[in-house]
């Protein structure tokens, strides 16, 4: 009997889970799931924003290799000839394919692809399939996306939160982070409901389940950037009797590996032209590096690439004259720290590790020794003792570009960029108006609004 395959996406979900070592968050369902399967501690996606990453994951190919790299672009363009989705490959093997937003209502789930594709899924839930038909199911659970879903049953005390050192220890940031962790607890309960449904329907033993995400945390310096906070994701795989139980592996995994691994575990042919690799099961191989790319996000134009090994991260900034904090309407509207950080800088209240992201320009290259600097704060690109490592990773990125192609080399037409910038500004203004605020509000007044909204101050 062919096994079923389930992908459970936690949107914008960095592995801030108890089973990954974050003790303040309660994730009993995910912890139990990890004890029943294999947890991969070095999983990374190929883009730190949803639509390019999801386009890569569903095709098993780098988004840069087929023109899906700019966020929410090319929605009217079909896929290039010869590229198939995961759903095509499973459907051709007789599988029913479905996509749900998760419990309790199981509406059609998020797709968000940077290409046009009619009816990529057959339905919403596996109950719609024919009797005995195997299924490939996605659950796209959005609670960990901003605005975060609060957990009134198990609130997290901001005083117990441990922030990365590149974030200021400020009440507003601590509260925002606590709300993020609470949303993970809500996600955990929904995962528990999906797993319970498999159990009730007698499907658990013959279903391969992946817990994954489209990219990392929805916090500044994380989402839309190539530091680990933006590209590292949870990856836990369970298949009773076939996948090792209670094991942690530090193998490097890329988001484009989820598809070939799913096909291989299910005993299906893996197309030779997929750019991902199998990382679990008897056909598992290995990687010595993962590659990730960031291009235009909303109307904010940028181009960044990185190579990430177990020990080092190399980042190439193609426009070093631009600040990290270019205007982005989404981040300005959603992230309190986006407003707070420049104010704290002006007051002289930021530590040196927290100033890097606010610089008016950035280095062309960044290199981090992850064993001694896991938060990627101390750039070693100009250190003579790291010159050999820098050159090797720079060459590795060049080789990747030659092997797979990089459509980011070709800039978008000026009219497209102007339209995206206008759309971003219009969206920002309308969202602010919905809050009763002007888009021209002063930073100090906007900070006061955030403090009232999150802290109840003023």
pLDDT of res. 458: 63
Q: In this predicted model, what pLDDT tens digit does every residue of 7-24 receive, in sequence order?
A: 999 999 999 999 999 999
Q: HEC profile for the chain?
A: CCCEEEEEEECCCCCCCHHHCCCCCCCHHHHHHHHCCEEEEEEECCCCCHHHHHHHHHHCCCHHHCCCCCCCCCCCCECCCCCCCHHHHHHHCCCEEEEECCCCCCCECCCCCCCECCCCCCECCHHHCCCCCCEEEEEEECCCCCCCCCCCCCCCCHHHCCCCCCCCCCHHHHHHHHHHHHHHHHHHHHHHHHHHHHHHCCCHHHEEEEEECCCCCCCCCCCCCCCHHHHECCCEEECCCCCCCCEEEEEEEEHHHHHHHHHHHCCCCCCCCCCCCCCCCCCCCCCCCEEEEECCECCECCCEEEEECCCEEEEEECCCCCCCCCCCHHHHHHCHHHHHHHHHHHCCCCCHHHHHHHCCCCCCEEEEECCCCCCCCCCCCCCHHHHHHHHHHHHHHHHHHHHHCCHHHCCCCHHHHHHHHHHHHHHHHHHHHHCCCCCCCCHHHHHHHHHHHHHCCC
Structural domains of the chain, with CATH? 4-288 (3.40.720.10), 304-455 (no CATH)
Share of the chain above pLDDT 90, in %: 99
Banded pLDDT at 457 (limits 50, 70, 90)? confident
Average per-residue pLDDT for the chain: 97
pLDDT of res. 352: 94
What is the reported pTM? Answer: 0.97
Q: In this predicted model, what pLDDT tens digit does every residue of 114-171 receive, in sequence order?
A: 999 999 999 999 999 999 999 999 999 999 999 999 999 999 999 999 999 999 999 9
State the average pLDDT over residues 184-191: 98
Banded pLDDT at 1 (limits 50, 70, 90)? confident
Q: In this predicted model, what pLDDT tens digit does every residue of 192-218 receive, in sequence order?
A: 999 999 999 999 999 999 999 999 999
Q: In this predicted model, what pLDDT tens digit does every residue of 302-337 receive, in sequence order?
A: 999 999 999 999 999 999 999 999 999 999 999 999
């Amino acid at each position: 009997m062919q096994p079923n395959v389930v992908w459970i996406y936690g949107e914008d979900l960095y592995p801030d889970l108890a089973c990954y070592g974050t003790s303040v968050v309660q994730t009993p369902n995910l912890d139990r799931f990890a004890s029943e399967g294999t947890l991969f501690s070095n999983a990374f996606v190929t883009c730190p924003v949803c639509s390019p990453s999801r386009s890569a994951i569903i095709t098993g190919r780098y988004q840069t290799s087929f023109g899906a790299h700019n966020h929410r672009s090319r929605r009217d363009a079909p896929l290039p000839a010869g590229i198939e989705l995961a759903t095509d490959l499973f459907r051709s093997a007789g599988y029913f394919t479905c996509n749900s937003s998760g419990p309790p209502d199981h509406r059609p789930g998020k797709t968000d692809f940077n290409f046009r594709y009619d009816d990529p899924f057959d339905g919403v839930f596996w109950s719609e399939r024919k009797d005995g038909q195997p299924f490939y199911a996605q659950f796209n659970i959005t609670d960990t996306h901003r605005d975060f879903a609060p957990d009134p049953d198990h609130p997290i005390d901001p005083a117990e939160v441990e922030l990365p050192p590149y974030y200021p220890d400020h009440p507003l940031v601590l509260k925002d982070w606590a709300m993020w962790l609470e949303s993970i607890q809500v996600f955990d309960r929904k995962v528990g409901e999906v797993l319970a449904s498999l159990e009730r329907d007698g499907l658990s033993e013959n279903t391969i389940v992946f817990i994954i995400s489209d990219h990392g945390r929805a916090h500044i310096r994380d989402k839309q950037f190539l530091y680990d906070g933006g590209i590292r994701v949870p990856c836990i795989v369970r298949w009773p009797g076939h996948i090792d139980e209670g094991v942690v592996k530090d193998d490097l995994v890329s988001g484009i590996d989820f598809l070939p691994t799913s096909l291989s575990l299910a005993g299906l042919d893996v197309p030779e032209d997929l750019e991902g690799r199998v990382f679990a099961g008897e056909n598992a191989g290995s990687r010595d590096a993962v590659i990730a790319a960031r291009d235009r996000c909303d109307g904010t134009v940028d181009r960044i690439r990185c190579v990430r090994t177990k020990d080092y991260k190399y980042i190439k900034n193609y426009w070093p004259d631009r600040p990290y904090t270019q205007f982005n309407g989404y981040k300005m509207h959603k992230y309190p720290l986006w407003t707070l950080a420049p104010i704290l800088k002006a007051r002289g209240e930021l530590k040196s590790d927290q100033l890097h992201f606010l610089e008016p320009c950035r280095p062309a290259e960044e290199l981090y020794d992850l064993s001694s600097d896991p938060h990627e704060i101390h750039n070693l690109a100009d250190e003579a003792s790291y010159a050999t490592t820098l050159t090797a990773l720079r060459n590795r990125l060049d080789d990747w570009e030659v092997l797979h192609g990089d459509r980011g080399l070709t800039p978008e037409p000026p009219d497209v960029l102007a339209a995206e910038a206008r759309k971003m500004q219009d969206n920002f203004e309308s969202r602010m108006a919905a809050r009763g605020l002007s888009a021209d509000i002063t930073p100090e007044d906007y900070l006061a609004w955030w403090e009232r909204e999150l802290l109840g101050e003023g």
